[in-house]
């Protein structure tokens, strides 16, 4: 994979270690797998980041970082992928998750008018919370698994391609050359 390109935008491990606000985590951030770029760590980070992108709570980045630490995958990539749900994409992504949950539960279409108010949150969510949360879980799991498999396959294909390139470009050296 384009490791040099990704490393250019990743934070430096030594800089992270010197951050005073992160000292409360102790040695949790000292695991090298949390910062390395290898097939396992990056693919796992895609799973974590895409799964957490569909968790409808604030502080998704903290959840992604915590899960990345727990399963020993790349933290910066996990956290960066959570930003797929941003103010521009959140509404269509969560509406799609709601429709998936509605389809899975076999519920009829329920027209609801969204309004950004506490009253709507407490009364409007009564009718949609089950399909919404089920859809978020399923879409998050499926996108995470697809992201994991895609990275694993693409990384392997890239390594094979580079190996073949090196193998065929190497001049034959020997007595009959």
pLDDT in tens, 146-159: 999 999 999 999 88
Residue 104, in any domain of the structure: yes
Tally helices (H) and strands (E) across the chain: 8, 0
Residue 164, in any domain of the structure: yes
| 28 confidence band (pLDDT: 50, 70, 90) | low
Residue 98, in any domain of the structure: yes
Domain span including residue 72 = 3-169
And the tokens for 113?
């008018």
Residue 176, in any domain of the structure: no
Q: How many other C-beta atoms are found inside a 10 Å radius of the C-beta of residue 176?
A: 4
What pTM did the predictor assign? 0.77
Closest by Cα among 130, 134, 149, 137 to 52 = 137
Residue 80, in any domain of the structure: yes
Q: In which residue are the tokens 């879980």 written?
A: 137
8 Å CB contact between 54 and 90: no
Residue 46, in any domain of the structure: yes
């Amino acid at each position: 994979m384009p490791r040099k390109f990704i490393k250019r935008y990743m934070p430096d491990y030594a800089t992270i270690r010197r951050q005073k606000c992160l000292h409360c985590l102790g040695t949790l951030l000292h695991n090298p797998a949390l910062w390395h770029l290898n097939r396992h760590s990056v693919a796992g980070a895609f799973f974590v980041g895409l799964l957490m992108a569909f968790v409808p709570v604030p502080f998704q980045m903290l959840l992604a970082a915590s899960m990345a630490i727990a399963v020993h995958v790349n933290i910066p990539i996990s956290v960066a992928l959570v930003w797929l749900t941003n103010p521009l994409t959140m509404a269509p992504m969560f509406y799609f998750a709601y429709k998936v949950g509605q389809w899975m539960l076999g519920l009829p279409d329920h027209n609801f008018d969204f309004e950004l108010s506490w009253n709507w949150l407490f009364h409007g969510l009564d009718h949609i919370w089950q399909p919404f949360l089920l859809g978020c879980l399923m879409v998050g799991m499926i996108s995470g698994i697809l992201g994991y498999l895609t990275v694993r396959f693409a990384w392997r294909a890239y390594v094979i391609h580079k190996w073949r390139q090196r193998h065929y470009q190497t001049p034959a050296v020997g007595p009959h050359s």
